[in-house]
Amino acid sequence: MSESTEKKSRGCRRGCLIVALVAGGLMVLAVVALILSAHVSSGGKHHLAWAREDVGEDEMPMMQEIWSSGTGDVKVVRIPVTGMISLNEGGGAFMGDSSSAVAALRAIRRATHDPDVSGIILEIDSGGGGITASDIIYKALKDFKAAKQGRAIVSLMGDVAASGAYYISLPSDVIMAHPTTITGSIGVIMQGYNIQELAAKIGLKDVTFKSGENKDLMNPFHDVSPAQRAMLQAIIDSMYDRFVMLVAQARQLPESEVRKLADGRIFVASDALKAKLIDDIGYNADAERAMTRQLGVSAIRVIRYEEETSFMDLLRNRRGLGMSLESMLAPRETRLMYRWEL
């Protein structure tokens, strides 16, 4: 055997040995992870023990319960809502964290069907999002309270809880903000682009076939006509009126007073408290104390939910858990939003 051939052979053996060691190491790590997972499950997590055959998984999602804090006998669920409020299943962390809204909705529905859950601490850190997505979460929270007498909701705002994020706090018995929270931005926004002049300069032409004059409404290659502007403004005004009405009802304020505040302006926590848009300023411990007062108990046991996921779930883009190339590359949609735009 020549010297060069022998070197190649040694190199091949060395490479194969490295690959085998890496593969073996990964297998060991996988086994250790499974053992640790089982150990944690036996300590801080447990599954739903009261599953009903007449309720589907989307109505009563199967999640793990993890002890978060407190030692009381009354069970309360901590549910975070962060980033863009959107129920788009294709969204993920790279698309405004829309997965948070999906996970929050599933958690609310899970808590609704658990007779042992007496309250929800809703932790909000969001600039808002879709009108319908915000309204669906709002309705889910209302359903949670209606499903069992005596339940309570306490919302705790983070850095931002504006527009649609303020909207979802309205079913709360107590709305609390951190001292540094920005909230408000009550209103509706719809944005688009007009690239007509740019397209003309670079020789780009629009080719659209449509069944009616308004079928390509907000086409970026054309101006919006006065009639179309009036049509869109009427829709925006209708959505705005609903927002104002719900704020007035939830905060027990005259609608005329709410309209003065609902011009899209934002508030620091102290000003929001003066305007009666929130009930208190504090931190997590204060939110838990507010919950004990609402429930009339001396102590609560706070849990949080965790979805059971696998690598295959991520590949299959399971609802709210994965991301798709299509969603990452999709152009910005023109739609009505309850959202604070910086």
Question: Which one of the listed residues 86, 126, 155, 163 is annotated catalytic?
Answer: 163
Within 8 A by CB and 6+ apart from 160, the residues are 125, 126, 127, 181, 182, 183, 340
Cβ atoms of 61 and 140 closer than 8 Å: no
For the question of residue 163 being annotated catalytic, the response is yes
Cβ atoms of 60 and 80 closer than 8 Å: no
**Strands annotated E in 70-220:** 74-82, 117-126, 128-130, 152-162, 174-177, 182-184
Question: Which one of the listed residues 142, 210, 215, 260 is annotated catalytic?
Answer: 215
DSSP secondary structure letter of residue 332? P
For the question of residue 172 being annotated catalytic, the response is no
Q: Which two tokens stand for residue 144?
A: 């949670």
* CA dihedral of residues 248, 253, 258, 261 (deg, nearest 10): -130
Judging by DSSP bridges, how do beta strands 280-281 and 174-177 pair with one another?
parallel
292, 284, 301: which is closest to 71 by C-alpha?
A: 301
Spatial separation of the C-alpha atoms in residues 18 and 68, rounded to whole Å: 42
Spatial separation of the C-alpha atoms in residues 33 and 20, rounded to whole Å: 20
In three-state secondary structure terms, 78 is strand
Cβ atoms of 104 and 137 closer than 8 Å: yes
Place of tokens 């007035």: 248
The rounded radius of gyration (Å) of the Cα atoms in the chain is 26
Residues with active-site annotation: 163, 215
